[in-house]
Structure 1
Amino acid sequence: MNQDKLYQHNNKQRWKFFLFLFAALIAAASLLYTNYLVKSLSKSERTKAEVWAMSTRSIMTMPDLDDQFISYVYAVRDSLSIPAIITDSKGNIIFWRDLDPTKTNIKDQIDSANNSLEYDPVYFEKQLAKMKRNHAPIALPLDTGETWSVYYLDSLALRQLRVFPYLQLSLITIFLIIAYTVFNSIKKSEQNLVWVGMAKEAAHQLGTPISSLMGWLELVRSKFNAEDDSSLNEMERDVKRLEAVADRFSKIGSIPSLTNHVVYRVIYDYVQYFKVRTSEKITFEITGDKTVEAKINIPLFDWIIENLLKNAVNAIESEGKITINIIDNIAKEEIFIDISDTGKGIPKSNFDAIFQPGFTTRKRGWGLGLSLTKRMVDYHQGQILVRESELGKGTTFRIILKSNLRYEPTQV
């Protein structure tokens, strides 16, 4: 990649990292502050629970208190607004507050005669177990030597405060994801318009000189009586190749027509054309399943193979081998097309970036080849990825297509 493009790409990645870090810091600060508030309120509620427990003890153990003082103690006791339960030293429930009234069928919570209470035992067992999980009990020693235990739950406000920052951050995250998706969709739509406009204009500009070249070839053949001249035949193949390229560009922006083709045969035909235009020091091998079919648009699929083979040739630089392996993944009804080279390899940090427009490792590259390749694979409702790569040893790209009907093997 040239230095300007490398700087632009790295700068973009740095900005993404800093924005993500900034968002993470805001989220962490929000959670820390909320946690601080929760701890402060939790301490305050425990103090209130202790005061309530002591006032309740006073009412239950000191019946001869002054009426005015009793009224004050009742007011203190009734000021507590959190669910709580008091148990004696044997674990029996002797008092409670702010629990479900439909589960507390009370004749008289404090029966001075037999100190008996009536309530739904299953409900109270669950509430008591929940309280024990939430907070350590408050010990309430009595003059008789017995110790009561006070259990309580956090107030509704405190419970909501615990959940609020996570709910808030979740809603903000959902909003940001939706906003990013919408703006990204708009950006891609604008990019698509540019792609389509440039592609169709390129196809239009190529049309006239290609037609002229075909005419000149026919004129040369007839003038020099060279109908079977091998050089002119190769020139004609190249001109037809230009026609195919123009046809590819004209198809960008429209829904391609996909028809059933044997994958091996399509790849074989293109490799036969490509390898005679490549150094003899680079060898080609096609292996794997020769029968599996997929829905393919041949001009666009050839474009995919062409770009990957050109990248492989550029990576090899001098002498090496390119292998194309076709794998029929019957279990998932998919076809894997692995294109491997013995070139210089790709760093793992670039595995995703290489499919972005403008990313290239060549000094004079535009960085559009693999981006276009991904686009063509998308047209075929498939996927493309870097399966593996090791610096100095080579790279394997994998194309994944949906398999179609299977036929008997044919000679290729």
Structure 2
Amino acid sequence: MNRRHWPTALAVLAAAILVWYLLYSQALVRELRKDAEVHSRIVVRVYSGLSDPDMEPLATLLGLSGEIQRLRIPIVYADQDGVPAFWVNLPFEAAQGDTADMIRVMKYSDRLARQNPPLTEQGLGTIYFGDPPSVERLRWVPLLQVGALVALLATLASVIRHNVRTERERIWAAMARESAHQMATPLSSLAGWVEILRLPEEDREGMATLPAVAGEMEADLDRLEKVARRFEWIGRPVQTESVDVRTLLRLLERYVRVRLPQLGRGVSLEVDIPEGMPAVQGNAILLEWALENLVKNALDALAGAGGRICIEAEALGERRVEIRVTDDGPGVSATVRTTLFEPGVSTKKGGWGVGLSLARRIVEDVHAGKLRLEPSEKGARFVMQLPAVPEPADAGRLRGRGVGLYGGSA
């Protein structure tokens, strides 16, 4: 059987065990009700014999004997010499007077004595008795309960492991696609500049000068290096430092504006960064990555229709900095608002659902911040809160947080 079918098979097995347990319990209930009915008949026969002086004692005893047999309790009565004189409801046939059968009944009496202490009547003999079938079946109930619980726990653990493994594989596949996507832009740009350099000098008239081409190629190489460094942090401890918010957002603005003609025709970008913004404690490479994902999400929402993207920053006291990325697009459907940041959830067709999940992990797990989608009248508003650079006495609290992207704590 394929491993991916194991959780389903185990779930079916656990369900079958539970169904069987319920049927078994109902059978026990019916058995106990039958025993209660027989006991009631015995009581009625006893009281009828005591209250009716005309009733023959022998008939009463025969009636009681029949009811006792219906209880199916194995009983062996032995006389004062230990010789079986009467037995009923034994699991085998035995004839009175047959030596082999008598020996067999005596051995069975010893088995009953180990099961329940025998009753000794003065001047009469000893009574050996066993358990009714309902009691025998009740002994299995705790084992069935434990077995069903173990099966359910095993099923749950297997399903969780399978889901975690599937989610991890989906995340890594999405990360691989994300890395290819991020590298494709600077690589295609470099390929374009190389084609320009290959042109004869006379054909390059009116195009960018060699120093300008070299500068653009250097920028693309820097971009490739930055992308490579981003993915180096996956699964490794992330070191943080003081990050200037204005510089971070201006670099993001430059990156987005250059690509707006290709990525978002008809989209305008507004950036509002007040003077005197405090620095944040973080990793500039990863924070820029998270912000890029928010901006790309807004560009996807405005694709084909145009609109406005606004990036704002605001200091919240001395300890927090808030960065908002807002667009005036169609907004986020209510059906995915609660799961928008989960891996694999995407609002666009063909999306892998890794960008917002990665952004939240960067902000919350690595930087001890918060990332949320706030209600807005139109479009979508993502709000990121980050800790400002702490006072010297608190500096050690946030510096060097040992948390890796999709890699746990170090």
Normalising by structure 1, report the TM-score.
0.49
Q: Which has the larger radius of gyration?
A: 2
